[in-house]
Amino acid sequence: MKKKAASVILAMSLAASMFAGTTAMAEEDNVIKIGVICSMTGGSAVYGEGAQNAIDLAVEEINGSDSEYKVEIVNGGKVADDATDAKQAINAYNSVMADGPEAVVGCFFSSVTLPIAEQAANDGMILLATGATNKDVTLKGDTIFRNCFIDPYQGKMAAQFANEQGWTKAAIIYAKDDDYSNGLKDAFIENAEANGIEVVYTGECTTKDTDYSSQASQAVASGADFLFYPCFLDTVPLLVSAARDAGFTGAIMGGDGWDGADTSGMEDYFENCYFTNHYSSEDTAPAVANFVSKYTEKYGSESLNACAALYYDAIYMMVEAAKIGGGSDTESLVKGMTGMEFTGVNGNIKLDENGDAIKSVAINHYVDGEVKWLETLSPEGEKTE
């Protein structure tokens, strides 16, 4: 009897143990492990700061809610640094992959996202790019998606906006050593003629240049009334000051890479300057107002940029993918992300057959050195102000 009782107790203990293990596994299956990558150092560190704050905010909200799926950021909750360098980006990817994530979010720059996208596709890992607008990113594989628009669309909208403003002669200065800059330059040129715009000068620079006086002088000499500069924020003040000092009084415009550019002491130079962006913090949509309010209350406004908004939405999109796909594993997330329609801080997003986001584009301009929302153009070309 004692042996029998012992056997029963043992069996019950084993069953309880198995049940506990199953319960723990079930609970674990509801946790989406995500690796996050962005530029945390160098001239673009403000983007990484925004990304870290935004994912912290999103995770806090999701895990504190009654959401079916929770989120765990690997790498100790920290964003891995791609240092805006392709080699370091792969190191960052390998670093987060060592923690066994079910998904990876990032990066913000095309030049570092392209090699990561290729590696993620080879690994069968889902990658949700945030800000990498080069058209080739999602062509690397079926597990690659993005929640930002692509350069052909951004270039088209920039040309459309220039046409609406009555600008007819464009000068272009672009960084020949940067994938983003090349892609946006090509997209603008492709759409210029259809919008009645003649490209009268095309000048080259590099991402390391600090003197733009020669290109600026040639842009002025070309007779252009519009200067397109599709480069990143750290060089924007240098280009704008060079153009104004050379006597260029026309409009100057860039892409989303301008977001966060320092205008201190150059407020007058930035009058009549514009850039396309993924959203505007001044948008009155409830999702935007809620995000801006919570973000600024916790972190202030200095790092409140489109990068932060894109990373914030990316975490929520992963949760939505798990709900649609029916699980937190990579295969389910890919299933859920494919063809997703999502509404967030960056507006209404529809992922197309390539995994690219079809969405509106915000046009921002500068007033007394501060970025202000001017209008938003829909994919159909409709305008809201």
pLDDT of residue 170: 98
Q: What is the dihedral of CA 307, 308, 311, 313, to 10 degrees?
A: -110
The per-residue pLDDT for 374 is: 94
**Exposed/middle/buried for residue 98 (C-beta within 10 Å: 0-12, 13-18, 19+):** exposed
CA-wise closest residue to 49 among 85, 92, 78: 78
With a CB cutoff of 8 Å and minimum separation 6, the contacts of 371 are 259, 364, 365
The answer to whether the CB of 348 falls within 8 A of the CB of 355 is no
Q: Are 307 and 108 contacting, i.e. CB atoms less than 8 angstroms apart? A: yes
DSSP 104-172: EE--SSHHHHHHHHHHHHHHT-EEEESS---TTGGGG-TTEEESS--HHHHHHHHHHHHHHHT--EEEE
Over the chain (385 residues), the average pLDDT of each successive run of 10 is 35 39 48 98 92 98 97 98 96 98 96 97 98 94 96 92 96 94 94 96 96 98 98 95 98 94 96 96 92 97 95 98 98 98 95 96 95 87 58
Q: How far is CA 79 from the centre of its chain?
A: 14
- Report the predicted TM-score, pTM, of the whole model to 2 decimal places: 0.84
Strand residue runs (E) in 134-271: 144-146, 169-175, 198-205, 226-228, 251-254
Phi, psi angles (nearest 5°) of residue 283: -60, 140
Question: For residues 312 and 287, is the Cβ–Cβ distance under 8 A?
Answer: no
